[in-house]
């Protein structure tokens, strides 16, 4: 049975600052700009916003700071912090809050200056005393342990991971807004510096600045706004652990659960999806999420990617903005998976446009494969 929330809310505004290296701006500057852009996109104003959803790596109280800066007095707020998946948890919470009348206009917003402020991943303070003595590089060593296990069990290879980075660059080269564009070869990828075996620098996402925002309303109001609504057909979320050693199975993520919940809520399955956005913090995450969300069988992600399926011209358009690997990665990239899904469903994507795109799946990850959230979005034709 599909969710009673299916199609009851819509993303009506999107904001993307596309400022991937913007010295002199704070995370809140990026977030404010994105919020303004998202509201202008749909023709609503700041005074209409009564639900605020926000997470920022460098702030413990992002909702309070955002509300003050935007001059709004929300009656509903949610600062859930589960890493890069936070914004899809917010999306799920916002759909429920809207339908149940806790708010009428929901703003989900994020900003970061991690590249211009220092060029390293900014993580929220969260000491791990049972990991610290062993000095894992955070977060790459955790993902490397998962990749090593996947290779051990399924014969996944570094060459297959390189195909994922290559596909992402192929899409980025069709996106004028992508940060990393230009030719990239298998040879360059495989010669990249090893950081935490088996992952190299080329397996890692970018470090950029950026800001993004979404505005959501109930579906009946969405029809009266100036943008083309993107309907929320189903969402799912799941949390499985904090530290990588506590992950129940290093080769299967809780995306299995979040995906099944989202598919069930939408009454759809992987075969119904026209466009896929999965959080590619590392090449291995694209591979594991394609498996866990049912686009290929467990263990076959490497062969699936190496077949060219996810690259431009392939059978399944994945991470069409260029992803975290080649478009942007301000630290908590999750919201950008939804932004690109909406752009594709609106038909705004120029050279990289997926033809006949009616159903898109956006999936985000947080922590070290710790939190997973999936959203299935559709055009009016899918209602």
What b-and-e string marks burial along 270-305, b requiring 16 or more CB atoms within 10 Å of the CB?
eebbbbbbbbbbbbbbbbbbbbbbbbbeeebbbbbb
**Nearest to residue 168, comparing CAs of 348, 353, 327?**
327
Choosing from 46, 99, 195, 264, the residue that interacts with other proteins (CB under 8 A) is: 195
Choosing from 4, 71, 134, 187, the residue that interacts with other proteins (CB under 8 A) is: 134
Choosing from 2, 21, 149, 307, the residue that interacts with other proteins (CB under 8 A) is: 149
Asked if 148 is part of the footprint of other proteins (rule: CB under 8 A), the reply reads yes
Q: Are 99 and 8 in contact (CB under 8 A)?
A: yes
Most distant CA atoms of the chain, gap in Å: 57
Shortest Cβ distance from residue 53 to other proteins (Å)?
A: 30
How many DSSP H helices and E strands does the chain contain? 12, 11
* Binding segment toward other proteins, per CB under 8 A, in 90-98, 138-146, 165-173, 207-215: 138-146
Asked if 127 is part of the footprint of other proteins (rule: CB under 8 A), the reply reads no
Q: How many residues bind other proteins (CB under 8 A)?
A: 27
196-215 positions binding other proteins, by CB under 8 A: 196-199
**Nearest to residue 162, comparing CAs of 183, 181, 188, 196?**
188
Asked if 298 is part of the footprint of other proteins (rule: CB under 8 A), the reply reads no
Give the tokens for residue 326: 């080649």
C-alpha 245/C-alpha 356 separation (Å) is 42
* Binding segment toward other proteins, per CB under 8 A, in 35-43, 96-104, 245-253, 333-341: 245-253
Asked if 276 is part of the footprint of other proteins (rule: CB under 8 A), the reply reads no
Asked if 254 is part of the footprint of other proteins (rule: CB under 8 A), the reply reads no
Query: Of 11 and 244, which has the nearer Cβ to other proteins?
Result: 244
Asked if 370 is part of the footprint of other proteins (rule: CB under 8 A), the reply reads no
Shortest Cβ distance from residue 245 to other proteins (Å)?
A: 4
Query: Of 298 and 346, which has the nearer Cβ to other proteins?
Result: 298
Query: Of 21 and 243, which has the nearer Cβ to other proteins?
Result: 243
Write down how long the chain is.
Answer: 383
Shortest Cβ distance from residue 184 to other proteins (Å)?
A: 22
Instruction: Catalogue the E-assigned strands of 17-75.
Output: 51-54
DSSP at 239: E
Query: Of 148 and 265, which has the nearer Cβ to other proteins?
Result: 148
Local structure of 266: helix, strand or coil: helix
Asked if 141 is part of the footprint of other proteins (rule: CB under 8 A), the reply reads yes
* Upper half-sphere CA count for residue 219 (Cβ side, 13 Å): 16
Choosing from 133, 187, 313, 356, the residue that interacts with other proteins (CB under 8 A) is: 133
For 157, 186, 334, 345, the CA distances from 284, given in Å and listed in that order, are 10, 16, 16, 27
Shortest Cβ distance from residue 298 to other proteins (Å)?
A: 17
Choosing from 107, 144, 164, 361, the residue that interacts with other proteins (CB under 8 A) is: 144
If one counts every other C-beta atom within 10 angstroms of the C-beta of residue 320, the result is 28
For other proteins, the binding residues (CB under 8 A) are 129-131, 133-137, 141, 144-146, 148-149, 152, 193-199, 243-246, 250
């Amino acid at each position: 049975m599909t969710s009673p929330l299916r199609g009851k809310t819509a993303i009506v505004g999107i904001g993307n600052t596309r400022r991937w290296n913007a010295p002199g701006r704070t995370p809140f500057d990026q977030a404010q700009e994105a919020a303004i852009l998202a509201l202008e996109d749909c023709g609503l104003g700041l005074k209409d916003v009564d639900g605020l959803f926000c997470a920022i790596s460098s702030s413990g109280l992002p909702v309070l700071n955002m509300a003050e800066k935007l001059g709004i007095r929300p009656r509903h707020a949610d600062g859930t912090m589960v890493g890069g998946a936070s914004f899809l948890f917010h999306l799920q919470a916002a759909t429920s809050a809207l339908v149940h009348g806790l708010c009428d206009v929901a703003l989900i917003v994020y900003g970061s200056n991690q590249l211009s402020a220092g060029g390293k991943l900014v993580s929220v303070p969260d000491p791990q005393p049972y990991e610290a003595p062993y000095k894992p590089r955070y977060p790459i060593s955790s993902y490397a342990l998962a990749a090593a296990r996947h290779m051990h069990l399924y014969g996944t290879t570094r060459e297959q991971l390189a195909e994922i980075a290559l596909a992402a660059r192929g899409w980025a080269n069709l996106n004028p807004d992508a940060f990393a564009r230009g030719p990239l070869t298998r040879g360059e990828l495989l010669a990249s510096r090893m950081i935490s075996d088996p992952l190299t620098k080329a397996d890692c996402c970018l470090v950029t600045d950026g800001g993004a925002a979404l505005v959501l309303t109930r579906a009946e109001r969405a029809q009266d706004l100036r943008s083309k609504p993107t309907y929320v057909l189903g969402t799912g979320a799941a949390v499985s652990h904090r530290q990588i050693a506590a992950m129940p199975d290093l080769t299967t993520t809780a995306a299995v659960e979040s995906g099944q919940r989202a598919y069930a809520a939408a009454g759809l399955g992987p075969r119904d999806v026209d466009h896929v956005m999965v959080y590619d913090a590392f090449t291995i995450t694209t591979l594991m999420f394609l498996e866990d969300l049912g686009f290929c069988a467990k263990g076959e992600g490497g062969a699936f990617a190496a077949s060219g399926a996810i690259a431009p011209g392939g059978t399944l358009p994945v991470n069409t903005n260029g992803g975290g690997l080649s478009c942007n990665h301000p630290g908590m990239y999750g919201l950008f998976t939804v932004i690109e899904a909406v752009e594709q469903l609106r038909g705004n994507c120029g050279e990289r446009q997926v033809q006949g795109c009616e159903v898109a799946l956006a999936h985000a990850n947080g922590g070290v494969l710790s939190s997973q959230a999936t959203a299935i979005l559709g055009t009016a034709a899918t209602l």
